[in-house]
Amino acid sequence: MPPVPALPFSGRFRLTTRTPLVALVTLVLVGCEGINPSDSAAQTRTLPPSRPTATGPVPAQNIDASRRTAITTAVERVAPAVVTVQTETVERVRVDMFEYLLGGRSGERRNAGIGSGFIVRNDGVIVTNAHVVMGATSVSVAMLDGTTYRATIVGVDETNDLAVVRIDARDLPVAQLGRSSDLIVGEWTIAIGNPFGFVLGNNEPSVSVGVVSAVGRNLAGQTSGGGVYIDMIQTDAAINPGNSGGPLVNANGEVVGVNSSIYSPSGGSVGLGFAIPIDRTKRIVEDLLEHGVARHPWVGIRLETPQVQSAREVASVGAVVARVAPGSPAERAGVRVGDQITSAGGRGVRNPFEWEARLLDLRVGESLPITLRRAGRDVPVTMRVDDAPEVTAPKVTVLRELQLVTVTDAIRQERGIASNAGALVFKVSDRIRDEIGLQEGDVIAQVGRTRVTSAQQVSEAIDRQGARGAVVLVFERNRQYFQTQFTLR
């Protein structure tokens, strides 16, 4: 990853048909069956005329009835609740001063984005993908009839690529939510959304139809949404850019997934689309509405990283415990380094993907029975799922828009942090993300020349250096170190 640039805080085929001879002979034999050429009676026998066929038009009512199917009914139920999500982001760009004086670029570039979503509550609550709204400075929602509302972002969960936005409206059509746990491979699926946005010239969502190709798919490759997607629904219903965040619907007209990504070497649909299961979506939406953040289940287990050459090899490497966080549910349950997890919650675990998928099914506070393979025997244990340690840790607010948490051994092991100490960026505003370059999950390790060991120490060091001039931060991201600089206003 390239270093994050220092950003000032202060404003800165001819087809030929050939009938085989055998087939021709067969047709002739069938046509002459029951006639003996040596029989004179047979030679003068007259064959009865063929029965006339109906030539009249098919009644119109039969045609109309055949046009209506379960699919058309399902679309009628859901389409009114499908919306277009429009976003705008502001990007800082370098400006040549001579160009600026001549009326050129102002130092900002505005980029428009578009996706889909669907209404889940009649008071304006809408579900979409996190990657549709992440970093947006403004969000608006267009309804089926073209009415557009300004929207606010209620919460975003990047881990599951889900977001909730809200508009100020009442008595809206609502999409009925189904269940993804009882999906049948081969059953109909319908993807509804706005591929390529307003290039198509209107607000009405488009529909593509396919089947459930597979369930429980784990992706770690070229997907349009980016990142790693766990325990997904695979469908061959066409999903294209702009479909992101729209509903995947079954033949009953129920939403069973949120269209999120495609696997494509070309950027267009090749029949490999993926949706986030609706059962997981319900849980995340509840968390975002109630807490503003998703409560991710934590048990304190970190697995060995498999040394493999392809994603296919990962499927059978097993799930071997590499670290157990101190004070974690796993430690309390007696899990040890070197144990192999073979099942969790009554479902088999064969690789790290399947372990992560089992965790996604959980809510904080629930119990998780797992089976460990240790020294050639099976050991059953049960863990109570907790919040991630940084969620319950004390927070220190810096610059009024930045929440920091002191890095503990549990946090360091859970997140794989290289620094022995520092302050974890727990929450950050869009303004500080854009102007300073800090992101949630970064670890501030140094302020100026001072190594820091706590969130409070970071706050104090920023205040001291900010009073004298520029503040320089050294921070860790993905086990690499970067530097940023800003001044206080």
Our measurement of the distance from residue 171's CA atom to the centroid of its chain's CA atoms, rounded to an integer in Å, reads 28
d(Cα 328, Cα 412) in Å, to the nearest integer?
13
Using DSSP's 3-state secondary structure scheme, residue 132 falls into helix
d(Cα 388, Cα 328) in Å, to the nearest integer?
9
SS in 3 state form for 302-343?
Answer: EECCCCCCCHHHHCCCCCEEEEECCCCHHHHHCCCCCCEEEE
Query: Tokens 């520092």 label which residue?
Result: 422
Tokens of 407: 């890095």
Q: Cα–Cα distances in Å, from 164 out to 224, 290, 357, 422, 474?
A: 20, 11, 22, 32, 33
Catalytic residue, chosen from 116, 131, 231, 459, is 131
Q: Is 409 one of the annotated active-site residues of the chain? A: no
d(Cα 393, Cα 37) in Å, to the nearest integer?
101
The answer to whether the Cα torsion of 195, 196, 201, 203 is positive or negative is positive
Q: Is 157 one of the annotated active-site residues of the chain? A: no
* 365 C-beta neighbours (distance < 10 Å), count: 11
Q: Side chain identity at 274, as an amino acid letter?
A: F
d(Cα 217, Cα 230) in Å, to the nearest integer?
7
**Pairing relationship of beta strands 247-249 and 255-262 according to DSSP bridges:** antiparallel
Q: Cα–Cα distances in Å, from 135 out to 112, 131, 277, 398?
A: 12, 9, 24, 21
Residues 6+ apart with CB under 8 A from 140: 85, 86, 87, 148, 149, 150, 151
**Helix H or strand E segment including 405:** strand 402-406
* 296 C-beta neighbours (distance < 10 Å), count: 18
Catalytic residue, chosen from 206, 208, 224, 244, is 244
Using DSSP's 3-state secondary structure scheme, residue 284 falls into helix
d(Cα 407, Cα 68) in Å, to the nearest integer?
60
d(Cα 439, Cα 454) in Å, to the nearest integer?
18
Q: Is 213 one of the annotated active-site residues of the chain? A: no
**Pairing relationship of beta strands 402-406 and 423-428 according to DSSP bridges:** antiparallel
Q: Side chain identity at 254, as an amino acid letter?
A: E
Catalytic residue, chosen from 116, 157, 161, 180, is 161
Tokens of 205: 């969502």
* Catalytically annotated residues: 131, 161, 244
